Chain A
Amino acid sequence: SQQGEEDPQALSIQEGENATMNCSYKTSINNLQWYRQNSGRGLVHLILIRSNEREKHSGRLRVTLDTSKKSSSLLITASRAADTASYFCATKETSGSRLTFGEGTQLTVNP
């Protein structure tokens, strides 16, 4: 079964609004990563947050991690039509090298 579960499955907003996506997971992790996938393309890494970090920023992206609740959120501020894509969280467990991906959130930003 998938380690990460994203919520919501789909999100539609207007350009300029903020978008928040959530991810829950089940096991202990070394880090949690967020990826973006445009239609028909490969995944692109956005941001990595380690288990001892609570918040991280990168440009218009803000990621939080709550290890006690086993959850993470990705906030995209001042969204643009070009942000339209699927967003996946992926968890890296403490042992081994595999990433386990969630089912993704389909974000649509309307111009």
Chain B
Amino acid sequence: DAGVIQSPRHEVTEMGQEVTLRCKPISGHDYLFWYRQTMMRGLELLIYFNNNVPIDDSGMPEDRFSAKMPNASFSTLKIQPSEPRDSAVYFCASTVGAHNEQFFGPGTRLTVL
């Protein structure tokens, strides 16, 4: 298996633009997580899905952030409009079952100018 796949790996955009991050989980995994990592705040959970259904979005910072999982093999995290403080590395992770280890993708490094 190729592992969790994220795209793009790097994104540089200007303030106010829409940003879409993509994730393909490991086949057969029923949970998908979106995290954000910054030096100041560490690793934060933004939202997670179980069987394509959003379960906990309490970590989504504000209405500018939205996430979807239209099917078991694809999820998106969208920021509209983007702001410089959104600059971070965004990770997607997937797992099987509620209590097991998570498999992380390589991350998307987002820079908002």
Hey, which chain A residues are within 8 Å of B50, CB to CB? 97
Determine if B99 and A45 form an interchain contact, defined as CB atoms under 8 angstroms apart. Answer: no
Chain B interface, DSSP helix/strand/loop, else mixed: strand
Which residue of A is nearest B109, CB measured? A40
Hey, which chain A residues are within 8 Å of B104, CB to CB? 35, 42-44
Distance between Cα atoms of A35 and B102 in the complex (Å): 9
Min C-beta distance of A25 to chain B, whole Å: 14
Min C-beta distance of B43 to chain A, whole Å: 4
Distance between Cα atoms of A41 and B106 in the complex (Å): 5
Distance between Cα atoms of A31 and B102 in the complex (Å): 13
Q: What is B's interface to A at a CB cutoff of 8 Å?
A: 4, 31, 33, 42-43, 45, 48, 50, 55-56, 91, 93, 98-107
Given known contacts A88-B43, A97-B55, what 18 new A-B pairs fall within 8 Å (CB)?
A33-B102, A35-B104, A42-B4, A42-B105, A42-B107, A43-B43, A44-B104, A45-B101, A45-B103, A48-B101, A96-B56, A96-B98, A98-B45, A99-B45, A101-B42, A101-B43, A102-B42, A104-B42
Q: What is A's interface to B at a CB cutoff of 8 Å?
A: 2, 30-31, 33, 35, 41-45, 48, 88, 92, 96-104
